[in-house]
Amino acid sequence: MASKDSPPRGILIDLDFATQVRDGDRILSPEPTFTGTLPFLSIDLLTASGPAPQRLYRHDLESFFYILGWMLARYDAHGRRKPLHQFTTWYKGPLDDIISAKRKFMGVPSRVPSDRSLPSLQTWLRNLCRIVDSGYKEKDREPQNPHFDSETFITFDTFMGATPQITL
C-alpha cells in the first residue's frame, strides 16, 4: 500500500474476515468472533473457551510468524514446493493437538527447517520462535506476575527487532 503522504509498505490482511472498528469519528466495539485460517491462528484465539477474545495486534504478528514458519518448511530457497513438511497437525487435528504442535515448534527452534531455505530467513524464524515462546511461557506464569502485559508481549518493535539483515 502507498499514499502520497507515506512510503510504500506491505500489509498482510484477509479482508474476508475484516471487521469495521471505526465509523467516522465513532469507535465501534464489534463482537469478537472466532475467524481466521486455522493453521495460522494465534494460540490465544485457539484456546479461548466461551466467547472469542478481543483481537489484539500481537495475534496478527503471531499469525505472520506461523505463516513464515510454514512457508520455510513448505518451499525451498528457489520457491519449489517440498513434498512433505512438519506442520500437518496445524490443519489436521483437534485444537489441543494444534496448540501442542505450535508450542513444540516455537519451543525448539532447532526444528525449524534449515537445509532448503535462505539462512537470513531461518535466523529470523529462530529469533521469532524464542520471542513467541518466551512470551507464552511468561503468560503461563501471569498470575504470579502482576506486571506482565499479555496485550503486548509481542510488539511490532520486538517482531521487527528479530529480523536479521535479509540477504537473497
Write the pLDDT tens digit of every residue in 37-74.
888 888 888 876 666 677 788 888 899 888 888 887 77
Q: What is the pTM of this model?
A: 0.73
Three-state DSSP at 25 gives coil
DSSP, residue by residue, 69-83: HHHHHHB-TTSPBPS
pLDDT at 138 over 70: yes
C-alpha span between 67 and 113 (Å, rounded): 14
pLDDT tens column, 81-126:
776 667 788 888 788 888 888 888 887 765 555 555 667 777 888 8
Rounded to whole angstroms, the Cα distance separating 44 from 61 reads: 12
Task: Identify the DSSP state of 112.
Answer: S
Rounded Cα gap, residues 82 and 51, in angstroms: 38
